[in-house]
Amino acid sequence: MEAGPVINQQIASSPAVVFDVHGRVAIRVAHGTPGEAQLRDMLAPFLGPSTSPLQLDISGGVSPVPSQSHAEDAYRYTDDSLFLPEDRVQVTRTDNGFVIEGAGELLTAVVPLLDHLCIRQDTAMVHAAMVNYRGAGILMPAWGGVGKTSTVAKLLAMPEVGFMADDWGFITAEGTLLSYAKPMFIKPHHRPIYPDLFQGVRKPLAPGWLTSTISGVATAVHPVIVRYPRTAAFTRRWSPEHRMVHPEQVFGAGKIVPRAPARIAVFLERFDGAEARLERRTEAWMAARIVGNFHSELPLVSRRLIEALGATGLVPLGEHFSAKTSVVTRALGDVPCFVLRLPVAWSADQTSDYVAGTVTSLVDGGP
């Protein structure tokens, strides 16, 4: 690994902000990195020193790497480095992790590589809502738009419930849920659920009937916007699609809980039916859904990076997904697993009421 250690030394000698992701991975963002503001915001729950042996070093610019091979115009690579010209990001594998360099917003590169390093620590990232319900961890993986953020609000209104995640979180092979209290994305349909967030002078949001259209446009332009941090920051701040709010501002810092033993796992999905259906599933079924769902819900730029890392052998895809499935399967070994199918016609308010009632009944009464 010729290039990695040299780059690591250069970054290590520069001022940086450090994040510790549950002791599993250290993330070091060099001051002046173009996407530093977004990374500070999204990684804020992990701010602090780290002694983790695995590390992501992040900086602006792209260090030259000699003798790179070319995969047409899509990317350039060596045995230990990958450069994606279109996304303006370079990843270099080091002895203890990865270096990420680029001129754009780099969160889309950080998340998949953070997940990969966490897997090496017997921990996996999940796309899910998570709460600590009176000492029991409730894991609710789901597709986007099913009602994770709404359900969290209903559960947090109950006594002895702590916030852990409404979008991304972590689960260890030992079956412990680890929180990720990143900013929440509040949308127009959340008005009856989070009424306080819509009072006073606020950034205007589009009416609910326009949300899908705006979301589609945002998804389409996202791969381009993230190349330009200032434009991306402006768009995020003034987009009528959603409002970003930190969980501690909504629920209070005392309601943020770092961990909980997983007690149940309920995959939430919408379907073309009139009544909700709760069905038992195996841990193998749930593990496959969790791994596939997390990958599917990543931004296109992140999925493109994963594809390139696999194609060049820096992160063999078979090994990556197999290792992640193993971690999640072990985590769910003693955890009852279910799928809760919810009518697509139900509102966010009705859906979240039903989900909150169902998952708490499962914990209180046992499966």
Digit-coded pLDDT (tens) for 175-227: 999 999 999 887 766 677 777 776 654 555 555 545 555 455 445 555 655 56
Residues sharing a CB contact under 8 Å with residue 33, sequence separation 6 or more, in sequence order:
39, 58, 59, 60, 106
Going by their DSSP bridges, the two strands 75-77 and 89-94 should be labelled as: unpaired
Per-residue pLDDT, 14: 63
Spell out the long-range contacts of 86-89 with Cβ–Cβ below 8 A and sequence spacing 24 or more. 87/223, 87/226, 87/227, 87/301, 87/304, 87/305, 88/62, 88/227, 89/62, 89/305
What percentage of residues in the chain have a pLDDT greater than 70? 82
d(CA 341, CA 142): 10
Q: How confident is the model at residue 7 (pLDDT cuts 50, 70, 90)?
A: very low
Highest mean pLDDT out of 37-41, 144-148, 310-314: 310-314
Rounded to a whole number, what is the largest CA-CA distance in the chain?
A: 62
Per-residue pLDDT, 196: 74
Count Cβ atoms below 10 Å from residue 323 Cβ, excluding itself: 16
d(CA 10, CA 16): 12
- Our measurement of the distance from residue 211's CA atom to the centroid of its chain's CA atoms, rounded to an integer in Å, reads 21
Closest Cα partner for 297 from 287, 286, 289? Answer: 289
Cα angle value 26/27/30 (rounded, 5°): 135
Per-residue pLDDT, 327: 98
97-120 pLDDT, tens digit each: 999 999 887 999 999 999 999 999
Least confident of 179-183, 231-235, 243-247, 333-337: 231-235
- 3-state SS assignment for residue 135: coil
CB 257 within 8 A of CB 230: no
CATH 3.40.50, the chain: domain bounds: 124-199+249-367
Higher pLDDT, 292 or 232: 292
Residue 10 has pLDDT above 70, yes or no: no
d(CA 256, CA 246): 11
Q: How confident is the model at residue 2 (pLDDT cuts 50, 70, 90)?
A: very low
Per-residue pLDDT, 216: 56
Q: Class for domain 124-199+249-367, per CATH?
A: alpha beta
Instruction: Tell me the one-letter amino acid at 345.
Output: A
| Predicted TM-score (pTM) of this structure | 0.87
Higher pLDDT, 317 or 242: 317
